[in-house]
């Protein structure tokens, strides 16, 4: 009994440290698709439920090209925005939340619930590093000449302690950087100290990047670095790997750029360029791009409108590791369900938006698995209204030491519950070797099995009669969540989960 209590307390503490930062657990999406009910304009996806719960929402805000939202550390929605104004969780405009991104584009677009047209990755919400009820919104002004460009990065500040927890915008549209910037592609990653943030944005049509250090005092440092190649069109996505070690940028006509990133210094290095000849559809070249990286930070997924590719970032030759995962299947709902922006969910699945405005999402169910084992399901998620935009989040759960960024148990059920029956599997988390200790000598032959969360057997060790322990190496396994079983006589005698970390 004491051993069982110890395991419970240990795993509970570990889980709380890993999954306490649930800032991305509710996604605000969709727009008005019902001409007979104009108050219905979208839905929320709530990852606090298993599987995620999709709920219709009645609000006067559309998310057609931009959705930004934030929950608190417990996974409760705080506020959201479409680039025009900020709304609280009661679907009402937050005090002082009007008139974001002022200028000609605001005047032309921000009326009747429409959203600001700067792009899905033009707004980023970060919690204050030391005050959990304070949030900072970084957002880009948009200008259109012959192409889209952002001349300014702005910052707005929200304090959720006002108005009985509904929040107040304390300051807004404060300039952070004035320069020629890419109109979207705004993202962030935790500093190596596990507390502060690095915010990154590319320059416009230059091989340059601005990297801002965001601390409890605001933007405390600005780094400028010239590296890589310029990107010349305004439709692309950039991401950090969940462990923060890689930065990837993808554009349809500018292909794939991969960098190493130092979370201690904010420096990009080791630039790799990967050309990609994308699939066409009925003679049409692709336009809309997207990218995401698997929870274990190994597999890069590229969405090139009509096809999705997988690359192995751990391979010696990343370009040669390319695998074609999916080709658009000619499905309409009601428009073509092609591939677009991608986001890793809190449930360890990768969700793929569709730019045409349809009522489905694509999903990669097992992104840690190589090749077709990743289980990509086209139009696998049904939605209650049309949708084209998807909120894009950094990895809020990344700390000083990288850990698994999501919780597979939110969506994956591994058979019926089986008690551990006194079997101890340790250490948990494990990085080198894993040991199973039985409550007493085995009375008949047994097998200690370790499988991926998707059910692929990774290790198997036999336990002879009379033995009380079994041991296996996990040093070469990708970090992530695994399922262990103790099998005997053709049946599962015990089951549990274990985390492999690096």
- pLDDT, tens digit (0-9, with 9 covering 90-100), for 322-347: 999 999 999 999 999 999 999 999 99
Together in a domain, 375 and 431: no
Question: Is residue 18 pLDDT above 70, yes or no?
Answer: no
In the block, residue with structure tokens 């005997």: 488
Together in a domain, 280 and 142: yes
Together in a domain, 318 and 375: yes
Long-range contacts: 282-287, Cβ < 8 Å, 24+?
285/252, 286/252, 287/235, 287/252
Q: Can you give 100-158 as a three-state secondary structure string? A: CCCCHHHHHHCCCCCCCCCCCCCEEEEECCCCCCEEEEEEECCEECCCEEEEEEEEEEE
Question: Is residue 195 pLDDT above 80, yes or no?
Answer: yes
Together in a domain, 308 and 333: yes
Do the Cβ atoms of 345 and 29 come closer than 8 Å? Answer: no
**pLDDT classification of 454: cutoffs 50, 70, 90:** low
Residue 75 lies in a domain: yes
**For the CA atoms of the chain, what is the radius of gyration?**
23
pLDDT of 4: 33
Domain that holds residue 495: 413-500
Each residue's pLDDT tens digit, 144-179: 877 788 999 999 999 999 999 999 999 999 999 999
Mean pLDDT of all residues belonging to the chain = 88
Among 364, 379, 400, which residue terminates a domain?
400
Together in a domain, 313 and 427: no
Together in a domain, 392 and 488: no
Q: What is the CATH number of the domain that holds 32?
A: 2.130.10.10
Together in a domain, 249 and 391: yes
Sheet holding 187-190, edge to edge: 187-190, 197-202, 208-215, 218-226
Residue 4 lies in a domain: no
Instruction: List the one residue out of 335, 401, 405, 416 whose CA is nearest residue 368.
Output: 405
Residue 10 lies in a domain: no
Q: How many Å apart are CA 8 and CA 371, to the nearest integer?
A: 36
Among 400, 423, 440, which residue terminates a domain?
400
Residue 14 lies in a domain: no
Residue 8 lies in a domain: no
Together in a domain, 395 and 423: no
Residue 5 lies in a domain: no
Q: What is the CATH number of the domain that holds 421?
A: 2.60.40.3080
pLDDT of 6: 31
The Cβ of residue 314 has, within 10 Å, a number of other Cβ atoms equal to 12
Whether pTM exceeds 0.75: yes
Among 344, 371, 400, which residue terminates a domain?
400
- Residue 401, token pair as written in the block: 């030491």
Residue 355 lies in a domain: yes
Together in a domain, 338 and 487: no
**pLDDT classification of 438: cutoffs 50, 70, 90:** confident
Together in a domain, 460 and 359: no
Do the Cβ atoms of 301 and 350 come closer than 8 Å? Answer: yes
Together in a domain, 44 and 96: yes
Residue 323 lies in a domain: yes
* Run of H or E residues at 494: strand 491-500
Instruction: List the one residue out of 36, 28, 51 whose CA is nearest residue 409.
Output: 51
Number of domains in the chain: 2
Together in a domain, 316 and 442: no
């Amino acid at each position: 009994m004491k051993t069982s209590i110890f395991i419970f307390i240990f795993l509970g503490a570990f889980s709380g440290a890993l999954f306490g930062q649930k800032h991305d657990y509710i996604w605000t999406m969709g727009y008005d698709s019902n001409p007979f009910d104009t108050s219905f304009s979208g839905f929320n996806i709530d990852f606090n439920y298993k599987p995620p719960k999709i709920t219709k929402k009645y609000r006067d805000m559309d998310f057609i090209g931009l959705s930004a939202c934030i929950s608190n550390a417990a996974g409760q929605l705080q506020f959201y925005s479409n680039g025009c104004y900020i709304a609280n969780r009661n679907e009402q405009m937050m005090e002082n939340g009007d008139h974001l991104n002022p200028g000609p584009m605001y005047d032309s677009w921000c009326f009747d619930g429409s959203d600001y047209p700067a792009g899905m990755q033009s707004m980023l919400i970060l919690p204050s590093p030391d005050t959990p009820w304070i949030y900072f919104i970084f957002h880009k002004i948009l200008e259109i000449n012959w192409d889209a460009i952002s001349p300014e990065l702005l910052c707005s500040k929200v304090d959720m302690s006002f108005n009985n927890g509904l929040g107040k915008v304390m300051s807004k549209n404060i300039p952070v950087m004035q320069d020629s910037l890419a109109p979207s592609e705004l993202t962030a990653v935790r500093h190596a100290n596990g507390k502060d943030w690095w915010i990154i944005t590319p320059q416009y049509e230059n091989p340059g990047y601005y990297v801002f250090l965001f601390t409890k005092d605001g933007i405390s440092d600005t780094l400028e670095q010239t590296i890589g190649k310029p990107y010349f069109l305004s439709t692309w996505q950039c991401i950090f790997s969940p462990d923060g070690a890689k930065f990837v940028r993808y554009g349809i006509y500018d292909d794939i750029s991969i960098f190493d990133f130092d979370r201690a210094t904010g420096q990009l290095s080791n630039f790799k360029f990967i050309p990609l000849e994308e699939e066409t559809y009925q003679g049409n070249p692709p336009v809309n791009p997207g990218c995401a990286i698997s929870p274990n930070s190994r597999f890069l997924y590229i969405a090139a409108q009509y096809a999705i590719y997988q690359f192995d970032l751990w391979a010696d030759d990343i370009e040669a590791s390319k695998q074609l995962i999916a080709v658009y299947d000619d499905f309409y709902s009601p428009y073509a369900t092609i591939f677009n922006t991608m986001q890793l969910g809190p449930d360890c699945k990768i969700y793929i938006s569709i730019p045409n405005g349809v009522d489905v999402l694509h999903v990669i169910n097992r992104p840690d698995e190589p090749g077709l084992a990743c289980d990509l399901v086209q139009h696998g998620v049904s939605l209650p209204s049309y949708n084209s935009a998807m909120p894009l989040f950094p990895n809020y759960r990344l700390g000083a030491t990288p850990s698994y960024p999501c919780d597979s148990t939110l969506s994956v059920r591994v058979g019926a519950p089986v008690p551990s029956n006194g079997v101890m599997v340790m250490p948990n988390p494990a990085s080198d070797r894993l040991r199973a200790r039985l409550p007493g000598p085995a009375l008949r032959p047994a097998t200690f099995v370790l499988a991926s969360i998707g059910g692929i057997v990774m290790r198997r060790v036999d336990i002879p009669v009379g033995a009380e322990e079994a041991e296996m190496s996990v040093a070469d396994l990708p970090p992530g969540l695994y399922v262990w079983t103790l099998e005997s006589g053709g049946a599962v005698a015990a089951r549990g989960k274990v985390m492999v970390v690096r």
